[in-house]
Structure 1
């Protein structure tokens, strides 16, 4: 039986010990990965460059590594390694979700942490400490099969949070989690760039320490969250403010043992429509967001700016994102729930639809911008809509039984990964067309992104009609 004082704490607020432990977990994994953003390709470049000069003779300096032959080898290694890693992570997300639901979140998180440490630790081990042959770097994706690597971490942490909060708390709680990720992405790259100047192994040691510290909050997480969630549901049914007839408290996906009969067929059709639309939205949003990978090259090409100056726009994104996740989303969620008296079902749909419209408007502004000021304004508008996936996760979580949280968030993460795998080559092809003389006045990747965001906004608006 869960501790009554803990239940009361949840009833009157969601800043509980478990929430902060999950927040720390999110920060540590995002920080560790962000630290390695620049050092990891540089480490691979060192390995490829060293092998090239071992084969062909000659001196080895950082400048020598920029020759075409070395960069072609590096590009091939990055492509193969990243593709194999993402493919392995995609295969492991659902099994990790199943493991979290069946054996407990702690078991899944421990395996995930071990997998992440081994994956990132293998690269410096091969390149710096042991000097193994270059082909041994391709062993790294094998470690992802232990626990999903860093790609599965976010899904597991969101699932752990979902098991410990009520429906009305999901959107603000998920918003805080995303904000923490943004802070890690702001601090990590700078630290990684600074520390790699002394020795390439230092940022890897910092990242490994960050991943290892994840064991502490994982061990401290409360046991038996599913039993606790039953009591939370009872409390939530009393405390949740919703309109008559609101179906948000009835999970569409229940336990596997639930009976089915002919009278449930319309219900099942409605369920499949909701899942199809929601997961399709995750796919399209992930695909559209790959256009951001070509923003800096586009600014440099279109407005004759250096890559370094163009990169400053991502610092602006970190500032706006912090405002969105720390202030705007929690305030909007509270106003819609308490001020307008809408239930969490309608609240999450309103926020999701509004956010995707902001994404669409921002993408259009970027695509057709004739000067840098217009582009920056469009980028800020688009960043204001970055809470779309937060409210979508909250909506979907309210329609799925808590005992299936691991599988749910693993499925959403897998869907997003697949969208990114398709989006990258698509946006790359559109960017190549954009920089031709005929279409230089418009950024086709962001035009495509705007179309995808608009489609998502329309289909999300139709969700309320399916239930």
Structure 2
């Protein structure tokens, strides 16, 4: 039995030399269209990669500002409380026998820092849902700018109180979280960064991006403490 005849495609003068590619829907796509689609994908990946790098850098800077200021700010608080405590005893704050580790000083320091850290969590707890809905409406970038502005105001208020301890009670640092109403607290800012990363990468790449952003925080935790401790040896707040 003779085999069935094989159909041979008719080749004309204007027939392309390369076969046409097919897209995901099975439709015929010309080579020019396929290369254009590949170019668009590369451009998209390049744009998303740049955005991820920016988010990782912003996460690194933000976490470093938080962890690096913790120990020096505690030392400043202790110095202010110690000076005020010995001044209230009608003694010179620069006596050699002055000890800032006495119970009244450390008790006030624990009270100031404890309430300050507690109040810092309230804006994130109360405003996470409203600000999240607002971020969906106006976009991630405006909310990120508002968050950074509120964080700047909060940090500036603490520095102002510490700069004028003779005129402003140290407990006024408890009012600093009020400025975070502008853009939420630190927890909201971290969630906003991860949400922005999820918006620009594909679903299969999100785990990798989230791990990279989490690694930024781990790097800060490892590097910030020894770096700040070294810097504090060169600059004493009591000098």
Q: What's the TM-score bracket when you normalise by the shorter of the two chains?
A: 0.7 to 0.9
Structure 1 residue matching 2:62: 3-state secondary structure: helix
Shift of 1:31: 0.9
Residue 226 of structure 2 corresponds to 190
Secondary structure at the residue paired with 1:64? Answer: coil
Matching residue of 2:151: 116
What's the counterpart of residue 141 of structure 1?
A: 177
Shift of 1:39: 1.3
Match of residue 53, structure 1, among 77, 83, 86: 86
Select the residue among 58, 61, 66 that pairs with 2:101. Answer: 66
Q: CA deviation at 1:99?
A: 2.1
**Per-residue Cα deviation, 1:33-62 (whole angstroms, up to 9, x for no partner):** 111121122222122222222322223369
Evaluate the alpha carbon distance shift between residue 13 and residue 49 of structure 1 in structure 2; reply closer, same or farther with a 3 A threshold. same
2:92 & 2:148 partners in 1: Cα distance? 39
3-state SS in 2 of match to 1:16: helix
Counterpart pick for 2:207 among 171, 186, 193: 171
In structure 2, C-alpha distance between the alignment counterparts of 1:162 and 1:51, rounded to whole Å: 50
CA displacement, residues 155-198 of structure 1 (integer Å, 9 cap, x when unaligned): 11001001001110011110011111111222222232233341
Partner of residue 67, structure 2: 34
After TM superposition, give the deviation of residue 94 of structure 1 in Å: 2.2
Distance 1:191 1:92, change over 3 A: farther
Count, aligned residues: 198
User: What TM-score, normalized to structure 1?
Assistant: 0.39
Question: Cα gap change, 1:172/1:6 in structure 2, threshold over 3 Å: closer, same or farther?
Answer: farther
Q: How far apart in 1 are the matches of 2:45 and 2:172? A: 53
> What TM-score, normalized to structure 2?
0.73
The structure that is helix-richer by fraction is 1
Question: Any stretches of 5+ residues in structure 1 without a counterpart?
Answer: 202-467
Whole-angstrom distance in 2 between the partners of 1:151 and 1:78: 18
Structure 2: gaps spanning 5 or more residues: 1-36
CA distance in 2, matches of 1:104, 1:200: 42
Separation in 2 of the partners of 1:91 and 1:12? 36
Mark the CA change 1:32 to 1:187 in structure 2 (over 3 Å): closer, same or farther: same
In the TM superposition, what whole-angstrom CA distance separates every residue of 1:371-421 from its partner, at most 9, and x where no partner exists? xxxxxxxxxxxxxxxxxxxxxxxxxxxxxxxxxxxxxxxxxxxxxxxxxxx
Cα RMSD after superposing both structures = 2.6
Q: Residues of 2 paired with 1:89 and 1:183: CA distance?
A: 24
Cα distance change, pair 194–14 in 1 and its aligned pair in 2 (3 A): same
Please give the alpha-carbon distance, in whole angstroms, between the structure 1 residues aligned to 2:191 and 2:39: 25
- Over 3 Å counting, the alpha-carbon distance change for 1:144 and 1:168 in structure 2 is same
- Compute the displacement of 1:11 (Å): 6.7
Matched with 1:127 is: 162
Query: Which structure has the larger Rg?
Result: 2
